[in-house]
Amino acid sequence: MKKKLIAVLMIAVLTLSLAACQGKDDSKDTSKKEKTEDSSDKKAAPKKEQKTVEITLPASLVGDSEATLDEEAKAAGVTEVTKNEDGSVTLKMTEEAHQNLLNEIKTGIDESIQEILQDKENYPSFDSITYNDEVTEFDVNVDASVYGGLESFVVIALYVEGNMYQSLNAVPEDQLKTIVNFKNKDTGEVIESGDSTAMDDSALSEYADRKRINF
C-alpha cells in the first residue's frame, strides 16, 4: 500500500512538472525578446583577479627533476618557477591552481597507499593505511602476529609523500614533519613510531627523485 502511494505521488509530481514546462514553452517566445533586450543593456561583469600563492619546495624534495620542472609545473597552472641558489624551487600560482595541485597530491598518496596494500609479498602484515587531513601523520594498521622485518622501510615513501604535501601547502622547510605510526589493527596499540626529522636529507632526496614530483 505504501509503495502504491509513493508511485501515485511520483506520477502527480511528474504531471505537474510537465504542465509547468508546457507553460514555460508557451511564454518562451514573448519572454525571449524581453530577456534579450535586458541582457543587451547589462555589461559583462569584470573577472575577479585571483590571488597569487607562493610556495617553496626544499631541495630535498625537488631531487634532480629540475630539467623538466618548468614544463610540468606550468602545465599544472603554475605561473612562475624560480630555481634558488640553495637548490630549492619557488612556485607562484593562482589559488585555484594551488588547490587543484593539493588535491592531485592527495590523489597520488591514495594511489601509492593502494599499491603498498596490494603488495603482499613485501608488506604481508599491512591491513590499512590512513592519514590526517594535513598529511602530517600516517597510521599503518598491521597484523601484529606477522609484522616485522623490512616492512617498516615503507616509512621513507610516506615521509616523502607527507613532506611534499606540507611543502606545497606552504609549511616552512624547518617545520616539515611527517609521523608514521605502526599500529596493531586489533587493539590500536602503537607498535613503533617514527618521524621524517630523523631521516637524512639525502635519503629523502634520493627517494623524491625516483618518485618524481608529478604536477
Q: What is the chain's alpha carbon radius of gyration, rounded to the nearest angstrom? A: 27
What does the buried/exposed string (b/e) look like for 89-125 if buried means 16 or more CB atoms within 10 Å of the residue's CB? bebbbbeebbeebeeebeebbeebbeebeeeeeebeb
Task: Report the pLDDT value the prediction gives residue 180, as an integer from 0 to 100.
Answer: 96
Q: Please compute the mean of the pLDDT values over residues 119-134 and round it to a whole number.
A: 96
Q: 70-84 b/e with 16+ CB inside 10 Å = b?
A: eeebeebbbeebeee
Residue 38 in this model has a pLDDT that exceeds 80: no
* CB-CB contact of 200 with 208 (8 Å): no
pLDDT digits (tens, 9 = 90+) for 5-30: 333 333 333 333 333 344 444 444 54
Percent of the chain predicted with pLDDT > 70: 65
Domain ranges of the chain: 52-211
Is the pLDDT confidence value at 152 over 60?
yes
Residue reference for cell 624547518: 174
